[in-house]
Structure 1
Amino acid sequence: MPEAVHYRVSMLRPHSHLFEVEATFPAGPDVLDAMLPVWTPGSYLVREFARQVQDMSAMGPGGEPLAVQRVDKRTWRVQARGHTVTLRYRVYANELTVRTSHLDGSHGYFNGATLFLYTEATRGLEHLVTVDAPAGWRAFAALERRGEAFAAKDYDELVDSPFEVGPHTPHTFTAAGVLHEVVVWGDTVPDTTRLCSDLQRIVEAQARMYGGLPMRRYLFLVYLTDKSRGGLEHKASTSLLFPRAGLQNARGWEDFLTLASHEYFHLWNIKRVKPRALVPFDYSQENYTSLLWAFEGGTSYYDNLFVLRAGLMSDNRYLTRLGETLSTLHATPGRKTQTLAEASLVSWVKHYRPDEHSPNSAISYYLKGEVVAALLDLELRRATDNARGLDDLMRLLWHRYGDESGVPEDGVEAAASEVAGKELSAFFDRAVRSTEELDYSVFSHVGLEVRFRPRESSSDKGGTPPPRVKGEVRPRGWLGVTTKGSATIATVLEGSPAQEAGLYVDDELVALDGWKVDAAGLLSRSEDKSPGDTVRLTVFRRDRLVEVTVTLGQKPSDAVWLARVEKPTDAQKAAYQAWLGAPWEEPG
Structure 2
Amino acid sequence: MKTSLAGLIVLLSISMTAKSQVKIGFEVNFTEPQAHYVEMEMNISGLTKDYVDVKMPVWAPGSYLVREFAKNVEGFSATANDKPVKFEKVRKNAWRIYSAKAKNIKIKYRVYAFEVSVRTSFVDESHAFLSSTGIFIYPDGMLNLPSTVKVNPFKGWEKVSTGLEPVSGKPFTYTASNFDLLFDSPIEVGNQDVFEFTASGVKHEVAMYGGGNYDKEKLQVDMAKVVEQGTAIYGENPNKHYTFIVHNRSVGGGGLEHLNSTVLGASRDKYADPKGYKDFLNLVAHEYYHLWNVKRLRPVALGPFDYDNENYTTNLWVAEGFTSYYENKLTHRAGFFTVDETAQALATAIANVVNTPGAKVQSAAEASYDAWIKAYRPNENSNNATISYYSKGEVVGMLMDIEIAHATKGAKSLDDVMKSMYHEYYKKLGRGYTDAEFKAMVEKISGISFTDFWARYVNGTDAIEYKKYFGYAGISVVDENEGKIIPYLGVASKKVEGDIIVSAVSRNSAAWDGGLNVNDQIVTVDGVPVEVAIEKMPVVTSKNVGDVITVTIRRDGLVRDIKLTLKANPNVKLITTVNENPSEGEKAVRNRWLLGKKG
Give the TM-score taking structure 1 as reference length: 0.93
User: How many pairs align?
Assistant: 565
- AA at the equivalent of 2:409: D
Contact 1:205–1:310 (CA under 8 A) maintained in structure 2: yes
* CA displacement 1:136-160 (0-9 Å, x = unmatched): 3221111110023111100000000
Matches within 5 A, 1:390-405: 390-403=414-427, 404-405=430-431
Which deviates further from its counterpart, 557-566 or 28-37? Answer: 557-566
Task: Please state if 1:412 is matched with 2:443.
Answer: no
State the shift of 1:566 in Å: 9.2
* CA displacement 1:12-49 (0-9 Å, x = unmatched): 22101010001122232222111111101000000000
Contact 2:332–2:339 (CA under 8 A) maintained in structure 1: yes
* CA displacement 1:48-98 (0-9 Å, x = unmatched): 0000100100001x2101111112211111112222321100000000101
Contact 2:213–2:272 (CA under 8 A) maintained in structure 1: no
Task: Please state if 1:171 is matched with 2:170.
Answer: no
> Hey, what's the Cα distance between the residues in 1 that align with 2:208 and 2:410?
42
Contact 2:23–2:46 (CA under 8 A) maintained in structure 1: no
Which deviates further from its counterpart, 344-353 or 121-130? Answer: 121-130
Q: What SS does the corresponding residue of 1:205 show, helix, strand or coil?
A: helix
Corresponding position of 2:11: none
> Hey, what's the Cα distance between the residues in 1 that align with 2:272 and 2:356?
31
**Once superposed, what is the RMSD of the aligned Cα atoms?**
1.8
> Hey, what's the Cα distance between the residues in 2 that align with 1:48 and 1:173?
37
Corresponding position of 1:18: 37
> Hey, what's the Cα distance between the residues in 2 that align with 1:371 and 1:353?
23
Matches within 5 A, 1:308-457: 308-403=332-427, 404-440=430-466, 441-454=468-481
Matches within 5 A, 1:79-118: 79-83=98-102, 84-118=104-138
> Hey, what's the Cα distance between the residues in 2 that align with 1:191 and 1:48?
38
Contact 2:246–2:263 (CA under 8 A) maintained in structure 1: yes
Which deviates further from its counterpart, 547-556 or 214-223? Answer: 547-556
- AA at the equivalent of 2:475: L
**Unmatched runs of 5 consecutive residues or more in structure 1:** 455-465, 467-472, 584-588
- AA at the equivalent of 2:523: V
Contact 2:520–2:554 (CA under 8 A) maintained in structure 1: yes
> Hey, what's the Cα distance between the residues in 1 that align with 2:381 and 2:78?
46
Corresponding position of 2:595: 581
Task: Please state if 1:508 is matched with 2:521.
Answer: yes
Q: What SS does the corresponding residue of 1:252 show, helix, strand or coil?
A: helix
State the shift of 1:411 in Å: 1.7
Contact 1:315–1:582 (CA under 8 A) maintained in structure 2: no
Contact 1:12–1:132 (CA under 8 A) maintained in structure 2: no
Which deviates further from its counterpart, 511-520 or 44-53? Answer: 511-520
Identity of paired residues, percent? 36
* CA displacement 1:250-279 (0-9 Å, x = unmatched): 111111111110000000000011111122
155, 160, 163: which one pairs with 1:142?
Answer: 163
**Unmatched runs of 5 consecutive residues or more in structure 2:** 1-19
Task: Please state if 1:285 is matched with 2:309.
Answer: yes
Contact 1:480–1:496 (CA under 8 A) maintained in structure 2: yes
Matches within 5 A, 1:69-218: 69-83=88-102, 84-137=104-157, 138-146=159-167, 147-148=170-171, 149-218=173-242
State the shift of 1:245 in Å: 3.4
> Hey, what's the Cα distance between the residues in 1 that align with 2:267 and 2:542?
34
Corresponding position of 2:7: none
Corresponding position of 2:530: 517
Q: What SS does the corresponding residue of 1:246 show, helix, strand or coil?
A: coil
> Hey, what's the Cα distance between the residues in 2 that align with 1:303 and 1:102?
28
State the shift of 1:302 in Å: 0.3
* CA displacement 1:463-510 (0-9 Å, x = unmatched): xxx9xxxxxx86321001122345221111111100111100111222
> Hey, what's the Cα distance between the residues in 2 that align with 1:167 and 1:76?
35
Contact 1:30–1:79 (CA under 8 A) maintained in structure 2: yes
* CA displacement 1:369-402 (0-9 Å, x = unmatched): 0000000001111111110000000100111112
Contact 2:340–2:576 (CA under 8 A) maintained in structure 1: no
Contact 1:330–1:559 (CA under 8 A) maintained in structure 2: no
- AA at the equivalent of 1:448: I
* CA displacement 1:217-262 (0-9 Å, x = unmatched): 0000111122231100000000001222332311111111111100
Q: What SS does the corresponding residue of 1:402 show, helix, strand or coil?
A: helix
- AA at the equivalent of 1:264: Y
Task: Please state if 1:50 is matched with 2:74.
Answer: no
* CA displacement 1:510-551 (0-9 Å, x = unmatched): 222222223425434323322112222122212222221211
State the shift of 1:568 in Å: 4.1
Give the TM-score taking structure 2 as reference length: 0.91
> Hey, what's the Cα distance between the residues in 2 that align with 1:109 and 1:545?
49
Task: Please state if 1:39 is matched with 2:72.
Answer: no
- Evaluate the alpha carbon distance shift between residue 474 and residue 33 of structure 1 in structure 2; reply closer, same or farther with a 3 A threshold: closer
Q: What SS does the corresponding residue of 1:413 show, helix, strand or coil?
A: helix
Q: What SS does the corresponding residue of 2:389 show, helix, strand or coil?
A: coil
Contact 2:493–2:534 (CA under 8 A) maintained in structure 1: no
Corresponding position of 2:564: 550
Q: What SS does the corresponding residue of 2:255 show, helix, strand or coil?
A: strand
Corresponding position of 1:478: 488
> Hey, what's the Cα distance between the residues in 2 that align with 1:513 and 1:228?
41
State the shift of 1:443 in Å: 2.2
Corresponding position of 1:8: 27
Q: What SS does the corresponding residue of 1:356 show, helix, strand or coil?
A: coil
- AA at the equivalent of 1:81: A
